Structure 1
Amino acid sequence: MLKGVIFDMDGVIIDSEPSHAKAIENALSSLGISLPKEYPYRFIGSTTEYMLKMIIIDFNLSVSVKALNELYNEALATLIKEEGYIPVPYVIDLIRNLHREGYSLAIASSSTPEEIAAVTDALEISSCFEKLVSGATVQHPKPAPDVFLKTLSELNLEASECIIIEDSSNGVKAACAAGIPVIGYINPNSGNQDLSLASILVEGFDEIDSAFFEKTYCRYHNLPVIIAKTERLLIKEIPVEDIPALKAIYQKSEINKFLPELYNASLDSPETAIQKHKAYIKNMYQFYNLGLWGVYLKSGELIGQCGIEPLQVEDKVEMEIGYFIDVPYQKNHYAKEALDAILTYAARSFNLSSFTALILPENTASSKFAVTLGFSYSGEITRNGILYHKYCIKN
């Protein structure tokens, strides 16, 4: 279960990397050293102390780390006084939303404790974070996992309960070394960072919410993703262990007489059904983020299926809605509750607004139900040699 979200600071919360680069450039300029423009960006995600030590070695300087750090801090303070702290767009809203939803939040940054506190105070987000952890307080900087391991300890959480947001190659490597899934934020001001080890990449936070974090977390741990929650139901991806319960529903004549393709699946051996579903998880759930999901009562009982799959119709792809509710639970309006939820999910997550339902002509109850949902009859279609009535809706 996802309980904690750990933020890097520089390049994730504040767009500070250009300021840090400019500060060290100005500090070295006062010593008569012209720093190559891209040089500071190789240290993104690491500590200032490590960067200064490497500069002294690379440029054969006689100055001490302490003295160079004083020059750097003076240059940085001047820039901050002139420009202030510039937050990454929409990240403040994201932090506050996650805090309101009850996640434990922490910052694990290579900046000093004083710098982290100054930023969170200036942006008025200090109260959102349970812990502020500096890489300057651990033995090894990123890409070592030390700062993240310390953060886990202070949050009293396991690696399996957290997710990290990073913008640097060093930060992503550190997260992976700690065994924590990481969202890689592609910040154009953070230089050319290799984020290929991240679980997923994002280019901004304007459309990122807790559902996105939950999905990323579930994908990393091979857990079923919850698609929607309603007053009485959970709509979620069906795990392999629920295939026997699903097959038991398929095998009921009241269900499979209207679902011939699913009826064929019900005749598979348990081993074949499980292998097919594993392929379905990989190809539909994980690749398309669509599919036929399970309809579960809040108590955990599987009572049906509903979902959205791509449907090839002549030279175009339409989104096909499918649904059924197990016999004992029919006439309780569960189908409408589930379908309303997934249509909202599709509109919000994929900007989908047009849907198709294929219904056997003899299934008059389902045809009437489609009309109550707002679907309109639009003709006949043959698929796999079977004639269906086609119903369409555009929200």
Structure 2
Amino acid sequence: MLLNLQTTPPPFLHDTYTPRYILLSEPDCAKKRSQAYAHLAKCNLCPRKCGVNRLEGKTGWCLIGERAKVNVIAPHFGEEPCIQGHHGSGSVFFSMCNLRCVFCQNHDISHQRNGMDLTPEELGDWYIKLQEVGNVHNINLVTPEHVVPQVALSILHARSLGHRIPIIYNTSSYDSLESLALLDGLIDIYLPDFKVWEPSTSKRLLKADDYAATARESIKAMHAQVGDLCFTGDGIAKSGVLVRHLVMPGLEEEGAKIMRWLAEEVSRDMFVNIMEQYRPSAYVGKERTRGRRKEEVNGEAAAAGEGEEGRGEEKEKKKEERRYAEINRAVKGEEVESVRKAAERAGLWRFCDPPRHDGFNI
């Protein structure tokens, strides 16, 4: 008797995978090139909508003109196991950003204009080097929101040179729909970070009160393009969306709201990484530079702090004067656990946890 065997791969598993940009027709490629230059001529890549002509060297909020500025290009082993694999993720860290997160964990890159100025062609050449020499699993574009036209042109250039591995768009989620439309067909994996939920929080900590609304709109558009995260049999992610959320001190309820929204409004099959590695960084915990006490301005602080009692009072005053004091500590385990439980209650079940077997967690 013949058995009716399953011939299709199980959910979230590709038998084989061909990157989306390889499947584009030549007319579609030409159209995207034209659109990329149009975006640069009147920049609307993010909700800032500066409207500057970057082809003429003008810059807006991100301070980046016609050429992308790149800080680091190298195989990277600090990503999720399904992204970095055994050979690393070919990461391209772009300088500057369209947000100004006061706690930025990569502030030395995202808040400073350091690095190489590269044309799209030079950038695409680096993708080929990472593929051929580094043998990486993918190209991972880190903080690329403000250089999407250059990224689109670089992918198309690399395609013409024989590029054949997936492209990852590693973003804060502060993207415009116009920007994501340009990327449609070029990106295989979207790696958005959904940071905070409340406008008051994003205004204070990200300097963008419309962040959460933009992130919701952006993540929905990303999921509409590539769907839930899928893998090949080796455990390496090839397509789909992986959402990151960095749990922050005292903001676990905002994290819970993000998890509920992902489950109810996008997909209960969303692959989520609830991250616990927050640390005070960038401007958090720095001493205030304005509003100093009068005796400090007059050079009388030493006298006010004489003796053990005086020094103790001085320490307390300085502690109160630290910037963003409410997040000037490490995140607690119970805060991380609270967000995880909220995600599970909402129906999410695909998490970036250590696998209970040899290999990768899919």
- The answer, yes or no, to whether TM exceeds 0.5 is no
Higher relative contact order (CA 8 A, sep 6+): 2
TM-score, normalization by structure 1? 0.28
Query: Larger % of helix: which?
Result: 1
Query: Larger % of strand: which?
Result: 1
TM-score, normalization by structure 2? 0.29
Larger Rg: 1
